[in-house]
Amino acid sequence: MVLERLSGSREKDTGFLFFSGKGGVGKTSVAAATALWLSKKGKKVLIISTDPAHSLSDSFDEKIGGEIKRIEKNLSAVEIDPKLSMQEYKEMLTPQLEKMGALKGLGLEDTLDFAGMTPGIDEIASFDRFLRYMNSGDYDTIIFDTAPTGHTLRLLSLPDVLDSWLGKIIKIRMRLSGITGMVRKLMGSGDDSGEDSALDRLDEMKERITKAKKILSDPNKTSYNIVMIPEAMSIYESERSVCFLEDACIHIGSIIVNQIIPENSGCSFCSGKRKLQLERLSEIETKFPENKVLKIHLFREEVRGRAMLEKLARELYA
């Protein structure tokens, strides 16, 4: 089973599980239930929310916040705060770029301002923090409760964007290093330790990005799970997501269909709705023949708190 294969059971490798889908389909509940299920199996689990709405706290029915919080023995959680991450990112990156004076005056002002007010900087900042957790090696399994599909697809495309951007800066810096070194000597100033430090920091970030790209595209380490409901709009969006992920060489683990109405012969409305859902389920299995389709019935109670999350997990995995 994909879940067991990626739960860090082999050679101490960390397994990475992503859960995403259209807003309102229950992906946070599924991610939280999975995290709880694996932790009960003895795996050391970290669940991370990259969704700005942060419904992870609601799912566990307790405040989590922007720092790693221990939920119980083998389970920790954190909600990445985009604003806080952006501030940390700017404080780290902007001074490094400012030290690289040789880059200024060469038409690269837009690049240097990338750490400023560029749209999407919050996603990039969140991704950099996400990389630090990914490379920590402290957990058997890291689970990502991601934002609705469009935001998530942008997040997953960031390694290529950042790799290209950082690559350009590093390449230009290396090309100019000989010239700036000569000028410094002529001016009587040979201290370029600040620029070397800046270059080292950018190199480190580039290495993290390269490693992340390899992890995300390795089916032995990463599984991307799409949560949907048996309705046409959710199916169409999930289909687009699958195409994007396949093009990005990201392994798709399972299709999880949530909120299936249980059989109820005493309710004509319920029976009619269930009949339509079963038709959609058949369509889903036809559209995604290569993926395991897991099904979750609609619960009478709200899925909130550990008891309900465990109930959901039992239906999903037991």
Express each pLDDT in 92-111 by its tens digit: 555 555 555 544 554 444 54
pLDDT at 114: 46
Rounded mean pLDDT of 122-129? 64
Report CA-CA distances (Å) from 150 to 99, 180, 257, 261.
36, 43, 19, 27
At which of 178, 194, 212 does a domain end? 212
141 lies in the same domain as 270: yes
59 lies in the same domain as 177: no
176 lies in the same domain as 300: no
The CATH number that applies at residue 74 is: 3.40.50.300
Kindly report the pTM of this predicted structure: 0.78
96 lies in the same domain as 244: no
User: Distance between CA atoms of 267 and 135, rounded to whole angstroms?
Assistant: 51
113 lies in the same domain as 26: no
86 Cβ contact list (under 8 Å, min separation 6): 121, 122, 125, 126
Q: How many domains does the chain have?
A: 2
> What is the enclosing helix (H) or strand (E) of 49?
strand 45-49
pLDDT at 202: 62
Torsion of CA 146, 149, 150, 151, to 10 degrees: 0
DSSP assigned state of 221: T
276 has pLDDT over 60: yes
162 lies in the same domain as 257: no
More confident residue, 187 or 133: 133
Domain of residue 49 covers: 2-82+133-152+219-317
94 lies in the same domain as 239: no
What tokens does 71 get?
A: 């939920």
At which of 197, 212, 227 does a domain end? 212
The DSSP result for 100-143, as a single string, is -GGGTTSS-HHHHGGGTT-TTHHHHHHHHHHHHHHT----SEEE
282 lies in the same domain as 205: no
β partners of residue 18: 144, 224
56 lies in the same domain as 177: no
User: Distance between CA atoms of 82 and 53, rounded to whole angstroms?
Assistant: 10
75 lies in the same domain as 204: no
Rounded mean pLDDT of 66-88? 83
88 lies in the same domain as 113: yes
Render pLDDT for 296-317 as a digit per residue (tens, 0 to 9). 999 999 999 999 999 999 999 9
User: Distance between CA atoms of 298 and 230, rounded to whole angstroms?
Assistant: 11
Phi then psi for residue 72, to 5 deg, are: -155, -170
Render pLDDT for 249-272 as a digit per residue (tens, 0 to 9). 788 889 999 999 999 878 999 999
95 lies in the same domain as 237: no
Out of 101-115, 165-179, 194-208, pick the least confident.
101-115
More confident residue, 297 or 66: 297
